[in-house]
Amino acid sequence: MRVSRLMLVTLRDVPADAEIASHQLLLRGGYIRRVGSGIYAYLPLMWRVLRKISAIVQQEMDATGALETLLPQLQPAELWERSGRWQGYTAGEGIMFHLEDRQGRQVGLGPTHEEVVTSLAGELLRSYRQLPVTVYQIQNKFRDEIRPRFGLMRGREFIMKDAYSFHADEQDLGRCYGEMDLAYRRIFERCGLQAVAVEADSGAIGGAASQEFMVTAEAGEDLILTSEDGSYAANLEKAVSIPTPATPLPAGDERVIDTPNQASIDELCSGQDLDASQVVKVLALLARMESGSQQPVLISLRGDQELNEVKLANAVCATLDGGVLDITPISAEQVSKQGLEPWPFGALGPDLPDSVLEGAKSWTTQFLRLADPTAAELDRFVCGANTPDQHRWGSNWSRLDGSPKAIDLRNAQAGDRCLQSPDQTLVARRGIEVGHIFQLGRKYSQAMDATFTTAEGGQDAFWMGCYGIGVSRLAQAAVEQHHDKAGICWPLAIAPFQVVIVVANMQDDTQLQLGEQLYSTLQASGIDVLLDDRSERAGVKFKDADLIGIPWRLVVGRDAANGQVELVERATRDTQVLPHAEAITALRQVMNTITSPTVD
């Protein structure tokens, strides 16, 4: 390809709305253009990158025996009603774009494809003899993200590879999940990415495994915790740890203390000279359940710990045996709207009586009470007295009618000891989630009644797995991991072109001819080569070549007269001046080191 024909528009200035390096560089390098919020055009250079990544993904998926398909993006509401997800995905903060067709039927644009694929499997896979089956596709997904940002990192239309597997039993699902894990590791490695596999939350589906693949980068939106040697890694939602020990409360009898203007843990601790680990903090929240009920929840946490909302949602689901739509803090205003007397916010105790809920308009009138073990294990502590501006000092659980059900509800923190190897402490890192593998179990197949005939002649719901890779996010994550001040340094396997030939002076016939000759030779060798044939100053072309980040640069300049060229490796800037035939040989050798397909 010739740069003069490439529609290449590079930008010198950093675009105002791009906060992170990879987003800035993709915009500046003429890879992407913003069309709307979270909506991007992939320009020709970008499309080549995406096709190269897709080709690697396809090869590795095909190698597992998965079958490539293409499922519809326009999905009838009825399918999502069968799985019970229509409401959650379209109402409130739901992320599904949805619309009404001319017949007045509801349809949604696919944010994911479990519903479509499960219903197909139910129709096509009738017998255990047809199992296992894995299908995959690479195509656009639509999600009306609340905060689309960072370019391709969180788009509202983006490219995903998603795969779904169907099995006769849990064991076979586990086998497939293990194969996908390995395939994912190969994919990221071949793309030149350093990705860490971390344990992830698998929702309230009992026992199911889930793992995310994170590209570690400062700009990542996810927080991950790892042991120092990396043998344990989990995202914040899932991570567990040994908490730091609490500071014991000095000896003394239980007493009520006045705590005016000490409604927060910080205020209470500085006002009363306490350590936060000596306090039990109580949070009142409202869980909206899929069943329609609205359940008030009272959480006790040690004062120095933070509530983990995902663990809480799972605990509420498991305890009440039902799906949770959302859990939000209860405000004084909500309490009054329910027709209830004001609650002593800022001084709530774990024993806040259920009577405060009596007569509520739409809430259940009994608290679900849960405590994190850090709180449940405290012998003596300070907690709210359920009277405004008063706390109890030196209280204990037996004084409060016993501790509520203890269940892990807190965030593990950097500096905590690692549960799996207690001599190590946890370190926090930021990550970009580029892939996710998940044992779904029978959640969808049971809900959608997708069954097959077993060897014994009975009907059983499929065991399912799903496996996603954010193809467009991965492309940008690669830039986040591989760039310098001057621009992108693409890993060779996913670079839009492998080599760029820069003819320094287009007016010089010798240079031009040698440039053209090398261009044809490299093309004939099956190398993806770009020829910068623009009549720009050499300096401009070098700057652009640095910016767009082609891994190898062949400069045809003054030395062309004696058959010499300059070969530069973009990432290291290693430069050699050598006869042009040798440069070609060197490039051929480098290209042989990668197994990725070229794109034409």
Q: Which residues contact 156 (CB under 8 A, 6 or more apart)?
A: 37, 38, 39, 97, 142, 143, 144, 145, 148
594 binds, among ligand ATP, Mg ion, none (CB under 5 to 8 A by kind): none
Residue 60 per-residue DSSP state: H
List of E strands, 143-194: 157-167
Nearer to Mg ion by Cβ, of 51 and 436: the residue is: 436
Where do we find the tokens 């002593």? 344
3-state secondary structure 491-525: CHHHCCCCEEEEECCCCCHHHHHHHHHHHHHHHHC
Position 141 contacts Mg ion (CB under 5 A)? no
155 binds, among Mg ion, ligand ATP, none (CB under 5 to 8 A by kind): ligand ATP
Q: Whole-number minimum distance, CB 435 to ligand ATP, in Å? A: 5
**How distant, in Å, are the alpha carbons of 206, 349, 376, 408 from that of 405?**
19, 15, 8, 10
Task: Give the burial string for 431-457 (b: 16+ CB within 10 Å, else e).
Answer: bbbbbbbbbbbbbbbbbbebbbeeeee
Find the binder of ligand ATP among 48, 311, 369, 436 (CB under 6 A): 436
Nearer to Mg ion by Cβ, of 211 and 277: the residue is: 211
Stretch that binds ligand ATP, among 170-178, 369-377, 432-440, 556-564 (CB under 6 A): 432-440
**Which residue is nearest to ligand ATP, using beta carbons?**
470
Position 172 contacts ligand ATP (CB under 6 A)? no
Nearer to ligand ATP by Cβ, of 218 and 228: the residue is: 218
Stretch that binds ligand ATP, among 45-53, 63-71, 369-377, 430-438 (CB under 6 A): 430-438
Q: Whole-number minimum distance, CB 57 to ligand ATP, in Å? A: 12
Position 122 contacts ligand ATP (CB under 6 A)? no
154 binds, among ligand ATP, Mg ion, none (CB under 5 to 8 A by kind): ligand ATP
For ligand ATP, what does the binding mask look like between residues 327 and 366, x meaning CB under 6 A? ----------------------------------------
Nearer to ligand ATP by Cβ, of 31 and 452: the residue is: 31
Nearer to ligand ATP by Cβ, of 142 and 519: the residue is: 142
Nearer to ligand ATP by Cβ, of 203 and 470: the residue is: 470
Q: Is-cis flag, bond preceding 132, omega within 30?
A: yes
User: How far is residue 538's CA from residue 540's CA, in Å, rounded to a whole number?
Assistant: 5
Position 473 contacts ligand ATP (CB under 6 A)? yes
Nearer to Mg ion by Cβ, of 94 and 557: the residue is: 94
312, 409 in Cβ contact below 8 A? yes
435 binds, among ligand ATP, Mg ion, none (CB under 5 to 8 A by kind): ligand ATP
Position 436 contacts Mg ion (CB under 5 A)? yes
Q: Side by side, which strands form the sheet with 255-258?
A: 255-258, 390-395, 381-384
**Which residue is nearest to Mg ion, using beta carbons?**
436
Which residues partner with 154 through β-bridges?
149
Q: Whole-number minimum distance, CB 475 to Mg ion, in Å? A: 17
Q: Which residues contact 499 (CB under 8 A, 6 or more apart)?
A: 522, 527, 528, 529, 530, 550, 551, 552, 553, 554, 587
| SS3 at position 265 | helix
403, 370 in Cβ contact below 8 A? no
Number of residues that bind ligand ATP (CB under 6 A): 15
Find the binder of ligand ATP among 51, 82, 85, 154 (CB under 6 A): 154
How many C-beta neighbours within 10 Å does residue 131 have?
18
Find the binder of ligand ATP among 468, 515, 551, 557 (CB under 6 A): 468
Positions in the binding site for ligand ATP (CB under 6 A): 112, 143, 145, 154-155, 158, 160, 433-436, 468, 470, 472-473
Positions in the binding site for Mg ion (CB under 5 A): 436
